[in-house]
Structure 1
């Protein structure tokens, strides 16, 4: 009886829960985001749209009254995207979850290809690309061969954004975003989620429109926020590093690759944001303290290999400071 009841509940659950987070975003952005979801080939029973307002100065729902029948509106005190997403996941009933930032939207034709995989091919995760240009061509649909998360992370550069894939909610377990991390919270969540997946479909389609919003958190970079971004990035790397001794060897190798790439990104961002040899040497010293520098002597990518060689010498560091622009 228990199995039959569980099966019945699973059938009745929405196929996808779309979790949208917003903070002081223009109503027109949110409308465009909602419309992109509502125009998908999902009926009202197949979709669940959860809009989490992270303490906007004016309640986001005020300008969205005509969508009241289509969405679940949640409001919380301003605590950041991590807490807002956790709130959305806590109540989400969908068999799959898709995160969407409120100033972005889904590209219909391309995203439909991803939904086809969700419907018919039992994925754990379907990944896709994002686009910044509204005029985009959708390539012919091709069904990729599914691979495990361990294999994926061992052979591909991971796109950390939590909005760049749709995932089966059951593989998440108790995994959540870490509250208090403002910059790079996705980089901690995504690799852990991928390591739990057995069937990942990597789509080349551009299914997510990312809006360059000058008012977003990631674009407001004064001295204090630069320091916070660097501190958050290191915190994420250290959180992932602590997991290495708790996972099997194959997964450890895959996660070690990701940690090495994030360590490289940490140094690249230090150069890009601070443009100071003193600051760069200080960042290297921090990584060395935690056994993260020198970067592992691996040929993960051509970019990684070249950067690892250059960062190891004074001349190389000066060249990086010259070539990496703000």
Structure 2
């Protein structure tokens, strides 16, 4: 069982995170800490834990971003299963045991669990939208394609640390996080792993605690890099869905129309903060994506809300 933890300048939270990992009731684990060029002493904390616990492996690399760090962890991992943990978060001490018990009994490829967003000091944020979990009352599993559909419908977040998956899925289908995308790399990856799973087990219990603070990636959404990464993600997602899971083609078109509409709204707010040339290039690309998706979807398949988004997008 491999737990992969990208680490970058999280000194105030790192000890608490690692402690929650080594305290797992399922003990046959390896914890791979990828120090991505930290400058605040986080790397030294990783080294210290490695000397205390032989199950912890620390790797130091120059700062290349969270995608490269996670990909390094996938390559190094030796466990049958992989779970990702962000280095400023916490997990239940029973996370691995409950996931292994579930997935071992069903033989499925992925098990998903609930997460709870918290404040910096650990106070629960019960109404946070990122707490989404499949609304499948009475069911213990969901088809992988249906989980992907929920992502496209905005009913499930694309976060790589809310599930445990067989390592074989990443290796067999060469699924890696996109290098060069400084943000939204999870949106460009999670749907691929879900699509490749026949069935996903569900544990309707909070086993992961996502810490919300000012430097969290989830808070850094209103900048030009986010728009650029969303454009790249949408292009890649549309191609992947059309060739690998065409039954989700309408869903990805609706998802894309909503994404281009929201990206255009964000771009409008950034108009005075970026060059005129970049603004025009991004606006042109978003309009092109919106028109292409609308054409693929067709007027008879579009819902009123997305029709309104498509009509309004050029005027933003």
Please list every run of 5 or more consecutive structure 1 residues that lacks an aligned counterpart in the other structure: 1-15, 322-326
Task: Identify the residue that residue 130 of structure 1 maps to in structure 2.
Answer: 115
| Deviation (angstroms), 1:232 | 0.7
| Deviation (angstroms), 1:24 | 1.0
Are 2:197 and 1:197 equivalent residues in the alignment?
Answer: yes
| Deviation (angstroms), 1:309 | 3.6
For structure 1, which segment, 122-131 or 163-172, has the greater mean C-alpha deviation from structure 2 after superposition? 122-131
Q: How does 1:212-223 map to 2 (within 5 A)?
A: 212-220=212-220
CA contact (8 A) 2:253 2:296 kept: no
| Deviation (angstroms), 1:105 | 1.4
| Deviation (angstroms), 1:170 | 0.7
Counterpart-to-counterpart distance in 2, 1:276 and 1:37 = 40
For the structure 1 residues 52 and 128, does the alpha-carbon distance in structure 2 shift closer, same or farther, using more than 3 Å as the test? same
Task: Identify the residue that residue 268 of structure 1 maps to in structure 2.
Answer: 262
Counterpart-to-counterpart distance in 2, 1:169 and 1:198 = 15
Within the candidate set 160, 163, 166, 2:164 is matched to 166
Task: Identify the residue that residue 238 of structure 2 maps to in structure 1.
Answer: 241
Within the candidate set 50, 53, 60, 2:42 is matched to 60
Are 2:4 and 1:19 equivalent residues in the alignment?
Answer: yes
| Deviation (angstroms), 1:213 | 2.5
Are 2:136 and 1:152 equivalent residues in the alignment?
Answer: no
Match of 2:178, SS state, is coil
For the structure 1 residues 234 and 117, does the alpha-carbon distance in structure 2 shift closer, same or farther, using more than 3 Å as the test? same
Counterpart-to-counterpart distance in 1, 2:92 and 2:138 = 18
Task: Identify the residue that residue 307 of structure 1 maps to in structure 2.
Answer: 305
Within the candidate set 62, 78, 82, 1:93 is matched to 78
Counterpart-to-counterpart distance in 1, 2:204 and 2:304 = 26
Counterpart-to-counterpart distance in 2, 1:241 and 1:51 = 33
| Deviation (angstroms), 1:287 | 1.6
Counterpart-to-counterpart distance in 1, 2:262 and 2:296 = 13
Counterpart-to-counterpart distance in 1, 2:179 and 2:22 = 30
Task: Identify the residue that residue 132 of structure 2 maps to in structure 1.
Answer: none
CA contact (8 A) 2:158 2:191 kept: yes
Are 2:248 and 1:254 equivalent residues in the alignment?
Answer: yes
Counterpart-to-counterpart distance in 2, 1:147 and 1:218 = 26
For the structure 1 residues 219 and 312, does the alpha-carbon distance in structure 2 shift closer, same or farther, using more than 3 Å as the test? closer
Counterpart-to-counterpart distance in 1, 2:285 and 2:143 = 34
Please list every run of 5 or more consecutive structure 2 residues that lacks an aligned counterpart in the other structure: 127-136, 272-278
Task: Identify the residue that residue 208 of structure 2 maps to in structure 1.
Answer: 208
| Deviation (angstroms), 1:274 | 3.9
Counterpart-to-counterpart distance in 2, 1:203 and 1:317 = 43
CA contact (8 A) 1:20 1:101 kept: yes
Match of 2:141, SS state, is coil
Instruction: Report Cα offsets for 1:298-324 as digits up to 9, x if no partner.
Output: 999xxx94531432445x999xx8xxx
CA contact (8 A) 2:149 2:251 kept: yes
For the structure 1 residues 241 and 221, does the alpha-carbon distance in structure 2 shift closer, same or farther, using more than 3 Å as the test? closer
CA contact (8 A) 1:153 1:255 kept: no
For structure 1, which segment, 163-172 or 276-285, has the greater mean C-alpha deviation from structure 2 after superposition? 276-285
Q: TM-score, normalised by structure 1?
A: 0.75
How many residue pairs get matched?
286
| Deviation (angstroms), 1:22 | 1.1
Task: Identify the residue that residue 293 of structure 1 maps to in structure 2.
Answer: 294
Counterpart-to-counterpart distance in 2, 1:110 and 1:24 = 25
Match of 2:192, SS state, is helix
